[in-house]
């Protein structure tokens, strides 16, 4: 997970209007949504979800089931904005979205899914709030679904989210000790799933193979070997580069051997 910047990710001027048009009575929906969010966050009523609490304010799908009109999915502007924010990568696992969920419309219709950070069923007043949206892959979105632990999850657009996880050289991920939000994020988004771990490992190791040859050369600085562009798994790679760098420096100090000389 890398830090995402929300600068520029703002709803267009007609967003409210577009959302309202999808409801039979948008004002009634908003009233009920606000009342629902006043209920205890972890109480039974909240857990059962908004569709059970106030089905009358939601339109129904083709099977007659009340549902939130999926404006975030239909209106491509949402995905355009959040795909730009995360450079087309999943906001949680940093996988390239195109390889897991091919898009059909090129630049105008980016692939991937719109994840509601605070789930729709429990936070209906935030279903159409843009700061509640992240671009994610199908695997992360499917794993998390409507879950919401007591303390919530790590937000990719706040603080230094990457530093709250530890990425091992073999691709494994763990939450920093005592960080409950990070622990729930790893668990509920399925960040330890097998193929994700394999891809992360390959990305880390192929970069390390290269940089380990450079560490120790007098002209090489740490910033020269860190990844600065948004590529898949860059956070996991950079953590391992920093570790290899620190290790190389310790070894360099201890060893009486001459530092490798640059070949000219
Ligand atoms: Zn993902």
Summarised one tens digit per residue, pLDDT across range 57-66 is 999 989 999 9
CA of 211 to the centre of ligand 1 (A): 27
Number of Cβ atoms within 10 Å of the Cβ of 118: 19
pLDDT confidence of residue 82: 95
Burial of 63 (0-12, 13-18, 19+ CB in 10 A): exposed
CA of 189 to the centre of ligand 1 (A): 8
Sequence-distant (≥ 6) Cβ neighbours of residue 56 within 8 angstroms: 28
**Residue 102, Cα to own-chain centre: how many angstroms?**
18
CA of 140 to the centre of ligand 1 (A): 4
231: closest CA among 74, 99, 79? 99
CA of 254 to the centre of ligand 1 (A): 41
Question: What does R_g of the chain's alpha carbons equal in angstroms?
Answer: 22
167: closest CA among 146, 188, 145, 182? 182
Question: From CA 176, how far away is CA 151, in angstroms rounded?
Answer: 16
CA of 92 to the centre of ligand 1 (A): 5
pLDDT confidence of residue 256: 44
Whether 9 and 84 have beta carbons less than 8 Å apart is answered as yes
CA of 113 to the centre of ligand 1 (A): 10
pLDDT in tens, 38-71: 999 888 999 999 999 999 999 998 999 999 999 9
pLDDT in tens, 175-206: 999 999 999 999 999 999 999 999 999 999 99
134 bridge partner residues: 115
CA of 74 to the centre of ligand 1 (A): 21
pLDDT confidence of residue 104: 62
Torsion of CA 186, 149, 154, 39, to 10 degrees: 160
pLDDT confidence of residue 230: 87
CA of 136 to the centre of ligand 1 (A): 5
CA of 18 to the centre of ligand 1 (A): 28
Query: What parts of the chain have a pLDDT lower than 50?
Result: 100, 256-257
Whole-structure pTM value: 0.90
Whether 94 and 232 have beta carbons less than 8 Å apart is answered as yes
- Positive or negative torsion for Cα 72, 76, 82, 88: positive
Question: How many CA atoms does the CB half-sphere of 133 hold within 13 Å?
Answer: 26
116 bridge partner residues: 133
Sequence-distant (≥ 6) Cβ neighbours of residue 64 within 8 angstroms: none
CA of 230 to the centre of ligand 1 (A): 15
């Amino acid at each position: 997970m890398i830090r995402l910047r929300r600068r520029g990710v703002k709803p267009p001027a007609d967003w409210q209007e577009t959302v309202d048009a999808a409801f039979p009575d948008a004002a009634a929906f908003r009233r009920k949504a606000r009342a629902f969010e006043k209920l205890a966050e972890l109480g039974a009523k909240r857990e059962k979800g908004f569709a059970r609490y106030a089905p009358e304010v939601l339109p129904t799908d083709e099977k007659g089931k009340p549902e939130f009109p999926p404006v975030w999915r239909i209106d491509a502007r949402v995905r355009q904005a959040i795909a730009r924010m995360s450079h087309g990568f999943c906001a949680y696992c940093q996988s390239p979205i195109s390889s897991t969920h091919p898009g059909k419309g090129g630049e105008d219709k980016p692939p991937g899914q719109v994840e509601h950070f605070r789930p729709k069923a429990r936070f209906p007043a935030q279903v159409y709030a843009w700061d509640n949206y992240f671009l994610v892959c199908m695997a992360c979105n499917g794993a998390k679904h409507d879950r919401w632990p007591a303390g919530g999850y790590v937000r990719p657009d706040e603080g230094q989210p990457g530093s709250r996880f530890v990425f091992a050289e073999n691709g494994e991920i763990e939450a920093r000790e005592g960080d409950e939000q990070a622990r729930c994020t790893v668990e509920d988004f399925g960040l330890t799933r097998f193929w994700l771990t394999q891809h992360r490992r390959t990305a880390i190791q192929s970069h390390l193979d290269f940089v380990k040859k450079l560490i120790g050369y007098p002209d090489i600085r740490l910033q020269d070997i860190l990844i600065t562009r948004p590529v898949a798994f860059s956070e996991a790679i950079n953590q391992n580069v920093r570790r290899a760098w620190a290790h190389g420096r310790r070894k360099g100090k201890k060893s009486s051997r001459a530092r490798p000389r640059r070949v000219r």
